[in-house]
Structure formats: structure tokens, C-alpha cells
Amino acid sequence: TSRKVAVLVGSLRKDSINRKMAKALVAMAPPSLQMAIVEIGQLPLYNQDDDANPPQASRDFKQQIQSSDAVLFITPEYNRSVPGVLKNAIDIASRPYGQSAWDGKPAGVISVSPGAIGGFGANHHLRQSLVFLNMPVLQQPEAYVGGAGDLFDDQGKIKNDSTRQFMEKFLAAYEGWVGKNAK
Ligand code: FNR
């Protein structure tokens, strides 16, 4: 069986290293994972007043999450936490209360930063929300990809052999996790 994986990128920047990582992983994915980036930059800011009648872009996004078997978050760290644009997307698909699109979906978290600690703060703040959203999150291997400013070549390939091998290991573990936990 092949599982549909929604890949969420926590940066809207055109040359985002997190988007480069997402694209590299989509290209590296085993056949059992149909990975595709689900865009979040078009989403309006979440407003609880709209719960009964959400904006169309928010409905469409929530539907895309609902129709996915699993989620993979690839995010930068902003001020030691999750970028607002990603938190907004998470909030949108979590509501109205009791009708969360995230519930029970297996997840993985990768943080990518030019900095030395690889977005550890964002990675773990994100995990805090995923606990509440009842998403089983892959624990090992953890993926804090630091020093990533020069990680990709002009074709978007991971230049560094050890990082590429690590990401292959991560994907293999994630594939097993999704296979075990997807509904
Ligand atoms: C950053 N950056 C950053 N890096 C980090 O390792 N820890 C941090 O807390 C922050 N904080 C932060 C806040 C804001 C508002 C910005 C714009 C940037 C730097 C960040 O890692 C860098 O810009 C990455 O290149 C962002 O990821 P993308 O856009 O390349 O995917």
C-alpha cells in the first residue's frame, strides 16, 4: 500500500532551505510514500469567529490534510520557536473543536537552519502542539539539520554525503512509522 503524505514547509521564502529539503525528500521518497508539499502561504489568519463558515482557502487546506494519511513537517526556527505561518496552518486545520483534521495522523518533524543547533527550539515547540493534536510523532532519529546554509547544490541535491545518508535513514524510519500508525 502507498500512503499519502502531506509535507508542510514552515517558510514562505522563495529560496528557503527548508523547501529545498522538502523537495529533496520528495525526490528521495520510497514508492510506499506519496509525498507532496501542501502550501500554507495562501491561508488567511485563523479567526475563531469564522469557525461556522471558514474562508474557502482554509476549507481547502483542511480537506487536503483530512485526505492525507500522514504529515511531515519541515520547518525553520524563528526566535527559538515555530514560525507563525506554520502555527497558523496547524490552528486552521484543528478547528472547530472536536473536528480536527490532524487527529491520529502519524507525523515526522525535521528542522533545518543555517545555525549550529539545527532549529531544536522550533522542532520541540512543534512537538508540544502535536501532543495535544493526538498525532503520533516519530521519535528517532531526531532531525535537527544545522549548518544548512550551504547544504544544497544548484540542482537542489544534498551536497554532503553524511547528511544525505542521514536523511535516507530518517525517511526509512518515517516510512516504517507511517506504515505502523496510519489508519
Ligand atoms: C531567523 N533565523 C533563526 N535561526 C535559528 O536557528 N534560530 C532562530 O531562532 C532564528 N530566528 C529567526 C527569526 C526570524 C524572524 C527569521 C527571519 C530568521 C534564521 C533562519 O534560520 C534562516 O533565515 C533560515 O534560512 C530560515 O529558513 P528558510 O527560510 O531558509 O527555510
User: Which tens digit of pLDDT belongs to each residue from 131-175?
Assistant: 999 999 999 999 999 999 999 999 999 999 999 999 999 999 999
Beta bridge partners of 81: 78
pLDDT 10s digits, 17-37? 999 999 999 999 999 999 999
- Which atom in ligand 1 lies closest to the alpha carbon of residue 10? 31
Q: Is 9 left (phi over 0), alpha (psi -120 to 50) or beta?
A: beta
**Nearest Cα residue to atom 28 of ligand 1:** 16
**Nearest Cα residue to atom 16 of ligand 1:** 78
How far apart are the C-alpha atoms of 181 and 122, rounded to whole Å?
24
- Taking alpha carbons only, the member of 129, 133, 110, 130 closest to residue 120 is 110
For residues 148 and 106, is the Cβ–Cβ distance under 8 A?
Answer: no
Q: How far is the CA of 34 from the centre of ligand 1 (A)?
A: 28
Q: Rounded to an integer, what is the distance from CA 109 to the centroid of its chain? A: 6
Q: How far is the CA of 47 from the centre of ligand 1 (A)?
A: 26
Which domain does 52 fall in, by range?
A: 3-181
Ligand 1 contact, 11 CB (< 6 A): yes
What count of Cα atoms within 13 Å lies in the side-chain half-sphere of residue 87? 14
**Gyration radius of the chain's alpha carbons:** 16
Give the per-residue pLDDT at 155.
95
ipTM of this predicted structure: 0.99
- Which atom in ligand 1 lies closest to the alpha carbon of residue 9? 31
How far apart are the C-alpha atoms of 47 and 29, rounded to whole Å?
35
What is the number of domains present in the chain? 1
pLDDT 10s digits, 44-91? 999 999 999 999 999 999 999 999 999 999 999 999 999 999 999 999
Q: How far is the CA of 123 from the centre of ligand 1 (A)?
A: 13
- CATH number of the CATH domain containing 154: 3.40.50.360
Ligand 1 contact, 118 CB (< 6 A): no
Q: What is the largest CA-CA distance in the chain?
A: 50
How far apart are the C-alpha atoms of 143 and 117, rounded to whole Å?
11
How far apart are the C-alpha atoms of 104 and 136, rounded to whole Å?
7
Q: How confident is the model at residue 119 (pLDDT cuts 50, 70, 90)?
A: very high
Of 16, 74, 79, best ligand 1 pocket probe by most atoms within 8 Å of the beta carbon? 79
Q: How confident is the model at residue 1 (pLDDT cuts 50, 70, 90)?
A: confident
How far apart are the C-alpha atoms of 169 and 64, rounded to whole Å?
27
Give the per-residue pLDDT at 81.
98
Backbone phi, then psi, for 37, in 5-degree steps?
A: -70, 130
- Sheet order of strands, 107-112 included: 33-37, 3-9, 70-75, 107-112, 143-145
